[in-house]
Amino acid sequence: MKKLFIIFIAFFSMLAEAHSQGCVAIRSTGAVCTRPDAARDAQQGWQINTVYRYFKSFRHFVGREEQKERLEKNTEVINWQHSLDLSIVRHFNNRWSLALNAPILANTRSSLYEHGGNNAGKNARHKTHSFGLGDIRLTVYHWLLDPARMPKGNIQVGLGLKLATGDYKVEDFFYKNDSTKTLGPVDQSIQLGDGGTGFTTEINAYYNFTHTISVYGSFYYLFNPREQNGTSTSRGAAPSASALAYGTSTMSVPDQYMARAGGNFMFGQLSASAGMRMECIPSRDLIGGSSGFRRPGYVISAEPGVSYQFKKLSAFATVPVAIVRNRTQSYSDKLRTQMTGVYTQGDAAFADYSINIGCSFRL
């Protein structure tokens, strides 16, 4: 059975905040798995993977309810992200492999509220930017079953180390008026890294019913034990009293996870896939504290895709289209609700879709 592509972002961005896409930044962490056919891993050698991802987030949600007035009043926040995940894989035998993943990120953020304010008119809208290396990840993979004895299906597990190589204190200028600007850290959603050293777990599985029909599933979780990274959220100004009171004056280092499942259909060298994808930033981490500023939430997407297998090169494209977007209540939202007695839940901007294009080359 030809290779079925399983793609993890996140990000990155998850990463930190998917990511899913937009202000809820699932960072691109180089989490790319293109190994759903164990038989292809039987050969020792090297493999190079590249994945390009693009999205534009601009639709604001509180919970699952879209804040349509943000678009009507031109107060929406817009994030554009371009990411290129580069990975090199060493196959030691038909069971074990080692992958090194490095993402390159280019982010732009346009807003009113961070600059002149939402009521200052369209001329108050400005942009902030970030560009550079994200958080590098090193992962060991192992096929649980002997591919020679189980050619129709297999399960792969992975354990990785995520390094804090991405700059999590990127700064740009914020324009308060025509003559005043301040230099400060850009929003968490476009920071290049999250500032935490974490570890990742992965499960990838597939089963071939016939030579033309197969199913796949995958799960990825990033554990970030560090609670906060010390980067200010006040954009060059002094932190507000409420930010200090509710623990949002500095950025948190959140966990993130992704799950995918679907079917694959072969037509010669061409493969078409249809599945579902979920990207999430939880409000609480499984290890360590959860205070600090974060925008938790998740996106559930329908994910169609195509791939083509050449002799040593595989090329693919997927376009996850958002079906459900939910900006959930954060740790600080819950703390504020408890302290004031007034229910609080922040908003976040999400994308309608993302575009993923990539290739895998066997040396």
Cα–Cα distance measured from residue 185 to residue 179, given in angstroms and rounded to the nearest whole number:
20
pLDDT at 11 > cutoff 50: no
- pLDDT in the model for residue 32: 39
Please list the residues that pair with 276 across neighbouring strands. 261, 302
Its pTM stands at 0.89
Average pLDDT over residues 129-135: 98
- pLDDT in the model for residue 18: 35
- pLDDT in the model for residue 333: 96
What does each C-alpha distance from 44 to 3, 49, 92, 98, 322 come to in angstroms?
Answer: 17, 16, 5, 12, 39
Cα–Cα distance measured from residue 39 to residue 258, given in angstroms and rounded to the nearest whole number:
25
Cα–Cα distance measured from residue 155 to residue 21, given in angstroms and rounded to the nearest whole number:
28
- pLDDT in the model for residue 296: 97
Indicate if the alpha-carbon torsion angle 289, 17, 324, 329 is positive or negative: positive
pLDDT confidence bin for 49, thresholds 50/70/90: very high
Q: Where are the domains of the chain?
A: 6-362
- pLDDT in the model for residue 311: 86
pLDDT at 30 > cutoff 50: no
Average pLDDT over residues 119-131: 92
Q: What is the 3-state secondary structure (H, E, C) of 172-188?
A: EEEECCCCCEEEEECCH
- pLDDT in the model for residue 120: 84
pLDDT at 14 > cutoff 70: no
**Residues across the chain:** 363
Segment 263-322, tens digit of pLDDT: 999 999 999 999 999 999 999 999 999 999 999 999 999 999 999 999 889 999 999 999
DSSP per position, 311-339: SSEEEEEE--EEEEEEBPPPHHHHHHHHH
Cα–Cα distance measured from residue 240 to residue 247, given in angstroms and rounded to the nearest whole number:
11
Share of the chain above pLDDT 70, in %: 88
pLDDT at 34 > cutoff 90: no
pLDDT confidence bin for 40, thresholds 50/70/90: low
- pLDDT in the model for residue 123: 86
Segment 237-246, tens digit of pLDDT: 999 999 999 9
Q: Is 301 helix (H, G, I), strand (E, B) or coil?
A: strand
Name the helix (H) or strand (E) containing 245: helix 241-245
pLDDT at 94 > cutoff 70: yes
**186 or 44, greater pLDDT:** 186
- pLDDT in the model for residue 321: 97
pLDDT confidence bin for 22, thresholds 50/70/90: low
- pLDDT in the model for residue 79: 97
Q: What integer best gives the mean pLDDT of the chain?
A: 89
Name the helix (H) or strand (E) containing 340: helix 331-340
What DSSP designation does 40 have? G
Task: Return the C-alpha torsion angle 29, 188, 249, 64, nearest 10.
Answer: -100
pLDDT confidence bin for 42, thresholds 50/70/90: low
Token pair listed for 328:
């959930």
- pLDDT in the model for residue 178: 79
Fold of the CATH domain 6-362: Lipocalin (2.40.128)
Segment 156-198, tens digit of pLDDT: 999 999 999 999 999 999 998 878 999 999 999 999 999 999 9
What does each C-alpha distance from 106 to 53, 88, 250, 339 come to in angstroms?
Answer: 11, 21, 23, 39
Average pLDDT over residues 140-161: 94
What DSSP designation does 91 have? E
- pLDDT in the model for residue 7: 30
User: Strand pairing of 65-66 and 126-133?
Assistant: unpaired
Segment 217-238, tens digit of pLDDT: 999 999 999 999 999 999 999 9
Cα–Cα distance measured from residue 22 to residue 205, given in angstroms and rounded to the nearest whole number:
28
